[in-house]
Amino acid sequence: MLVGLPIFHVNAANATGLGSIMAGATILMTGPAGFRSAHVLPNLMALLIHFDVSIMMAVPTVYAAVVESLGNEEQLNLSALKMKLAISGAAPLSPVLKQKFTERVGIPLVEGYGATETTAVSSLMPINDIAMRQSVGLPLPTLDLKIANIDERGELVEVCEVDQVGEIVVAGPNVFQGYLEPSHNEQSWITLPDKQAKGKRYFRTGDLGCLDQHGYLSLAGRQKELIIRGGHNIDPKMIEDIASKHPAVSLAAAVGRPDAYAGEVPVLYVTYAEHQQASETEILEYVSQYIPERAATPKQVIALSEMPTTAIGKIFKPQLNCYQVESVVDVVLTEIDGVASEDIRVSASPSKQFGLSAQILLSEKIVSKQPEIEEALANFSFHYRIEQAPSTHLTSQDKRVA
């Protein structure tokens, strides 16, 4: 077993660490920095071959690096590779990346799903699956996983039927007992009807998903505000707390910007206090100085005249996520030859089924570019739909790109 994730991560500690020891497997460790070590990723395939690695787990960015490196290392004798299985987790796996890895390396790449609160693994895809759609596999035999419709007050509306999207909730021996800080347990648990008992307590994962008729779990988005960058969990509150200490900042909100390589990267929105002003560069430099972990450093700071809020005055982060999706789509599509900004209109909105969904309208002039557009968006995990605009020309006033 190749262990390349940080040892403080629940996967390295339990799934590939203690799990390998219990199975009597040999563990090959890539060092304290894991996959981040300078010479590991560029030489990963050579290491797998030399040490006869048979199985590994990693985040999608690692497999993307493998696919990229194979283009430069055709001299490697892949027939000497003894690996039987590769497992991806911690962040959404692109179907395109999965296909490329399987075709070029010649071994199955399967996806799993879990959380620290569920001791790393909740579900895993069998090699020979019968899933009805893109899936993260079957729940572990000991895990009771259900899909529930839960309202904003944290109360159960209904337990969802097959193919109905809702929040993933779990109970079982691998689910933790609760957070040490009592306030963190508020709305983290829900009691569902149980035939053998009066009620059973389930942990709310904050993730959206559905189960197909064969019991396979598919993800549909995240309700949690956690930013996941290459499998690294980033608490937006940490970024916001630091930014809020700047004398010019009135409100701060950190969200994830979709990224084809890392899944998400953090960006920071701010509004300025009255009679205060600062450049976005100044705010970025200030925050970067105090961020304790490099991965959490925002890629960009964006100043807004007014922060989107809910009816009770809470910052409405789903709208900020939509701004970022709109911006990413606009940037990615206008990099395609023959596609200009005035030829597209992107409109993202929150969606209960998908977390958020983007509508992409194309002018008649570039409709033929749709296959190229879909290929350009293939490595992003957000949901989108493409339609032809009713008019042949889209003005900049029609667009809502942040």
DSSP strand E in 223-262: where?
227-229, 232-234, 249-259
pLDDT of residue 51: 95
Question: What single DSSP character describes residue 315?
Answer: B
3-state SS class at 341: helix
Q: Would 312 be classed as within a structural domain?
A: no
Task: Say which residues have a Cβ less than 8 Å from residue 152's Cβ, sequence separation at least 6.
Answer: none
**What are the pLDDT digits (tens) for 211-270?**
999 999 998 766 677 888 887 878 888 899 899 889 899 889 999 999 988 889 999 999
Q: Record the tokens describing residue 310, joined without a space.
A: 């809910």
* First-residue to last-residue Cα distance in the chain: 44
310 within some domain? no
Number of H helices, E strands in the chain: 9, 21
- Check whether residue 7 and residue 104 sit in a common domain: yes
Instruction: Pick out the chain residues at pLDDT < 50.
Output: 392-393, 395-402
Q: 100-109: long-range contacts (C-beta < 8 A, 24 or more apart)?
A: 100/67, 101/63, 101/66, 101/67, 104/67, 104/70, 105/45, 105/66, 105/70, 105/78, 105/81, 106/78, 106/81, 107/81, 107/83, 109/63
Residues 96 and 158 in one domain: no
The CATH number for 82's domain is 3.40.50.980
Query: Dihedral (C-alpha) 174, 175, 181, 184: value to the nearest 10 degrees?
Result: 150
Domain boundary among the residues 167, 199, 222 is at: 222
How many Cβ atoms from other residues are within 10 Å of residue 129's Cβ? Answer: 14
Domain boundary among 222, 257, 278: 222
**Tens digit of pLDDT for each residue in 152-167?**
788 999 999 999 989 9
Q: Is residue 129 part of a domain?
A: no
Provide the domain count of the chain.
4
Task: Look at residue 122 and tell me if it is in a domain.
Answer: no
DSSP-derived 3-state class of residue 198:
coil
- Report if residue 278 sits inside a domain: yes
Residue 17 inside a domain? The answer is yes
Let me know if residue 102 belongs to a domain.
yes
| pTM listed for this prediction | 0.68
> What whole-number distance in Å separates Cα of residue 132 and Cα of residue 151?
28
Q: What's the CATH number where 235 sits? A: 3.30.300.30
| Residues 201, 239 within the same domain | no
Is residue 119 a part of any domain in this protein? no
CATH code of the domain in which 382 resides: 3.30.300
142 and 216 in a single domain? The answer is yes
Nearest partner of 44 among 25, 71, 62, judged by Cα: 62
Q: Are residues 205 and 242 in the same domain?
A: no
Helix (H) or strand (E) holding 383: strand 383-388
Q: What is the pLDDT of residue 397?
A: 38
Q: Residues 253, 325: one domain?
A: no
Give yes or no: residues 177 and 109 share one domain. Answer: no
Enclosing domain of residue 269: 227-303
Residue 192 shares a structural domain with residue 285: no
CA atoms within 13 A on the CB side of 26: 5
Q: Say if residue 26 is in the same domain as residue 55.
A: yes
Last residue of a domain, one of 204, 222, 240: 222
What is the phi/psi pair of residue 274, to 5°?
A: -60, 135
